[in-house]
Structure 1
Amino acid sequence: MTGLLGGVVASTTGGAADALLAGAFLSLALVLGVFQLLEARRTRDASATGVIAGLLAFALGAYAARGSLLVAVGGAVAATALLAFKRPLHAWVRALSWAELRALLVLLVMTALILPVLPDRTFDPWQALNPRRIWLLAVLIAGVSFLGYAAVRIAGARGGLLLSALAGGLASSTATTLSFARLVRSNPALCTWLAGGSLISSGLMALRVLVLAGAINRPFALALAWPMGAFALVLGAAGALLMTRRPAGAEPQTITTLTNPLELASALKFAGLIAVIMLLGKVLSRAFGAMGVYGLAALSGVADVDALTLSVSELAGRDLAASAAVLAVSLAVASNTLSKAVIAAVVGGRKHGLLMGGASLAAVAAAALILVLRI
């Protein structure tokens, strides 16, 4: 009824139409406010939800008459969904810590405030650096990391190794590998299980790379699916096999403690890293062709796969042949996978390193075979 009222008032014509609409809105706000005040005194439960919902219904009705019916319907559906999940949302908000709320606000600022005002054009001589595209990629990574953190927070990652490994694959499989390797020193009986968790995390990393590529360049992601699928399948299967061999009597332990992934400084550093890799990729591809990009992929993959993946996805099919782009990302993932085996050996010891290294080499070999057959 309130929405219908807004639509009827907004449909009036004449010189006083805008004044009539504003007066109707203010009158409705006054009436709803009085009723809500009386209700709050009666029930001793103060809430502004009813007033806001009523005013929103009026505004959406008016917008349907004067603006876009589709947008108004979408807003009404979204508002109805929020009202339907009011109690779970309130419970979730109360459970948030200040650090988590701050991280969510940072993500919203990155997306809703900074992104729209950035120029959507390149400004360098090599036509490689587009501020809006670079920031969009940084927002994408921050969003993926925050979703991984939220999944662990809601489901309780401290309850088991498998969930910690899966969450680590979403956030940082390298950090997970390092954390697990450190635990091997104090829990040598769990060496096999911890290696399995690290491998599962690495397998999920390969799938994450595929998702990131698909978000930027879908045709490229379809070609990349073959080697990334090989990485994920071999690493995941090896990890699952090792986890089934958990020593008898060993109790599951909390393997990793995820910190809040969203800090503004980290987001800015990542945006800068993406910009550098995109610039180097464009310069090297022009100077040395695909060979320059391959060297960059192998080196950058040791530290970070996501930035290289996003940068190459931007270049694939335009400044870089699709087959060369697939090989570059595969090199980065292979470099990252083997570097984690080295971390496992150095930090976790010889046995842990051998378990990780054997499975990692098998995954790299499987992906290489796929590339030879497909390219």
Structure 2
Amino acid sequence: MVNTEHLIGLGISLMVGAVIGLERGWRLRGAGEGERIAGIRTFMLIALAGGVAGLVGDRLGYGIVPVALAGVIGLIILGYRRMVRVSGDYGITTEVAAILAFLLGVLASLEEPLLAMAGGVVTAVLLGFKPRLHALLRSIDGPELRAILQLALISAVILPFLPQKGYGPWDTLNPHTLWLMVVLISAIGFVGHFAVRITGARRGILLTGFFAGLASSTALTLTLSRAARGQHSYQPLFAAAVVMASTTMFPRILVLVGAVRPEMLPSLYGPVALITAVGGLATLGLALNARRVTGAPNHPPMQKPFELTTAIRFAMLLAVVMVAAEGLRRYAGDAGVYALSLVSGLTDVDAITLSLSRMAADGMQADVAQRGIIIAAMANTTVKLGLAAGVGRGRMAVLVGAGLGAVIVAGAAWVGVTTFWQ
């Protein structure tokens, strides 16, 4: 009796081979007959062989699979040696793809057809993106490569092995949760850095300001305030970018809260939408004021994409803030939490945001945590206004003051009204 699942598995095996072989055949379409190891037909046959090996192994023992794989590898090695002699090309991409097609064929026949198909599509996409991947490698510099590896280290190597248990005063410090927050912040900053890198700071200051808000709006404020002192005609544009970056910080807060305490999000949508709208209108006004500015301003890059020492310092800061916030909540009440939010926000919004979100999950009143987060954000916005005024001076200070001043007033008004009507 015909087994429908077996037929589906073999069909998926053929499809996997066809997808990978299509890309390889197109890539080597200029080669003459017999001048390539494998085309679309060969890849289909290799994947089908994997599917058959899986089915036979299911009945007679899976030892047949490595034997069949060894036979396929042997044939691939013979073809590779011939191709090297003929063309002098030592690349092994096609050979590796052929071995992968066989293994995916085996997987398809072992009741994992969707996973096998997904693997085939991903393989074809990776093969097809060769020029872009190589261009990406050429564009990455040393610090960015180290940043990629360090981010992989803290997320894929360190995080899984940290204990999920409370330590320290009041069992506040959970190593796994603490480091997960560090990974989250690092990843957001990492994405922001490469977004700026891809869009190009010289070609879109406002777009740079938007993505810089994901990485470090304070760093952008300091950078553009310095640049504004020597490039007076670009001050309106720089001011718009600073307000844009500071405004982006508020939707970023939603991302952080959503990752730790999604139940808090509905009540934060209102104040964040209000403040973001005010900041967006201020940015629009400043941008319209700068619409006659042409050319490409010169200013240095904002920051490195990621540093392990920075992540460790942030973890230590977050631990201190979490313990202090819990202590103040227990012994000083809501006023103590608000005071800590104000002080913490002067240097870093992320730490206090994550800390209060976590505490709300552990019993703190949600409205107290929400007001604390907004207070911290307002304090941080005030610091950026002070940087623009103290470093940029002159017209830059006035323009940024008008934009961020409106944001601060909107945030302070929300805190005052919600506190009064509590």
Name the TM-score, length of structure 2 as normaliser: 0.81
Structure 2 CA distance for partners of 1:131 and 1:63, relative to 1, 3 Å: farther
Structure 2 CA distance for partners of 1:141 and 1:182, relative to 1, 3 Å: same
Q: Does 1:26 align with 2:70?
A: yes
Q: 2:337 pairs with 287, 293, 304, which one? A: 293
Q: Is contact 1:170–1:204 with CA below 8 Å preserved after alignment? A: yes
Cα separation, 2, equivalents of 1:275 and 1:237: 36
Cα separation, 2, equivalents of 1:57 and 1:27: 14
What pairs up with 1:314-333 in 2 under 5 angstroms? 314-333=358-377
The equivalent of 1:39 in structure 2 is: 83
SS of match in other structure, 1:122: coil
The amino acid of 1:147's aligned partner reads V
Cα separation, 2, equivalents of 1:161 and 1:171: 15
The equivalent of 1:203 in structure 2 is: 247
The amino acid of 1:98's aligned partner reads G
Structure 2 CA distance for partners of 1:3 and 1:118, relative to 1, 3 Å: farther
Q: Is contact 1:164–1:256 with CA below 8 Å preserved after alignment? A: no
Structure 2 CA distance for partners of 1:347 and 1:5, relative to 1, 3 Å: same
Spell out, residue by residue over 1:150-200, the C-alpha distance to the aligned partner (whole angstroms, 9 max, x if none).
Answer: 122222223342233223212111111111111222123333332222111
Q: 2:207 pairs with 163, 167, 179, which one? A: 163
Say which is worse superposed, 142-151 or 77-86, in terms of deviation: 77-86
SS of match in other structure, 2:185: helix
The amino acid of 2:365's aligned partner reads A
The equivalent of 2:39 in structure 1 is: none
Max radius of gyration: which structure? 2
Once the two structures are TM-superposed, the CA of residue 107 in structure 1 deviates from its matched residue by 1.2
Cα separation, 1, equivalents of 2:266 and 2:48: 48
The amino acid of 2:203's aligned partner reads G
Structure 2 CA distance for partners of 1:192 and 1:95, relative to 1, 3 Å: closer
The equivalent of 1:341 in structure 2 is: 385
Structure 2 CA distance for partners of 1:189 and 1:247, relative to 1, 3 Å: farther
Cα separation, 1, equivalents of 2:70 and 2:309: 43
Q: Is contact 1:60–1:76 with CA below 8 Å preserved after alignment? A: yes
What pairs up with 1:180-191 in 2 under 5 angstroms? 180-191=224-235
Once the two structures are TM-superposed, the CA of residue 23 in structure 1 deviates from its matched residue by 2.1
SS of match in other structure, 1:185: helix
The equivalent of 2:100 in structure 1 is: 56
Q: 2:192 pairs with 140, 148, 153, which one? A: 148
Spell out, residue by residue over 1:43-81, the C-alpha distance to the aligned partner (whole angstroms, 9 max, x if none).
Answer: 333322222222222223334445755544443333233
Q: What is the RMSD of the two structures over their aligned residues, measured on CA atoms?
A: 2.5
The structure showing larger relative contact order (alpha-carbon pairs under 8 Å, at least 6 residues apart) is: 1
Cα separation, 2, equivalents of 1:53 and 1:73: 14
Q: Does 1:93 align with 2:137?
A: yes
Cα separation, 2, equivalents of 1:15 and 1:250: 73
The equivalent of 2:284 in structure 1 is: 240
Once the two structures are TM-superposed, the CA of residue 204 in structure 1 deviates from its matched residue by 1.0
The equivalent of 2:321 in structure 1 is: 277
The amino acid of 2:334's aligned partner reads A
Cα separation, 2, equivalents of 1:130 and 1:4: 49
Unaligned runs of at least 5 residues, structure 1: none
Cα separation, 2, equivalents of 1:255 and 1:164: 12
SS of match in other structure, 1:81: helix
The amino acid of 1:156's aligned partner reads G
Q: Is contact 2:228–2:238 with CA below 8 Å preserved after alignment? A: yes
The equivalent of 2:26 in structure 1 is: none
Say which is worse superposed, 34-43 or 51-60, in terms of deviation: 34-43
Once the two structures are TM-superposed, the CA of residue 247 in structure 1 deviates from its matched residue by 7.9
Say which is worse superposed, 132-141 or 270-279, in terms of deviation: 270-279
Cα separation, 1, equivalents of 2:257 and 2:58: 53
Structure 2 CA distance for partners of 1:320 and 1:138, relative to 1, 3 Å: same
SS of match in other structure, 2:387: helix
Q: 1:360 pairs with 397, 404, 413, which one? A: 404
Cα separation, 1, equivalents of 2:329 and 2:120: 49
SS of match in other structure, 1:158: coil
SS of match in other structure, 1:129: coil
The amino acid of 1:292's aligned partner reads G
The equivalent of 1:219 in structure 2 is: 263
Structure 2 CA distance for partners of 1:29 and 1:121, relative to 1, 3 Å: farther
Q: 1:133 pairs with 177, 193, 200, which one? A: 177
SS of match in other structure, 1:257: coil
The amino acid of 1:103's aligned partner reads A
Name the TM-score, length of structure 1 as normaliser: 0.90
Once the two structures are TM-superposed, the CA of residue 335 in structure 1 deviates from its matched residue by 0.3
Structure 2 CA distance for partners of 1:312 and 1:32, relative to 1, 3 Å: farther
Structure 2 CA distance for partners of 1:284 and 1:27, relative to 1, 3 Å: farther
Structure 2 CA distance for partners of 1:293 and 1:40, relative to 1, 3 Å: farther
Cα separation, 2, equivalents of 1:359 and 1:147: 26
Say which is worse superposed, 324-333 or 258-267, in terms of deviation: 258-267
Cα separation, 2, equivalents of 1:152 and 1:30: 48
The amino acid of 1:306's aligned partner reads D
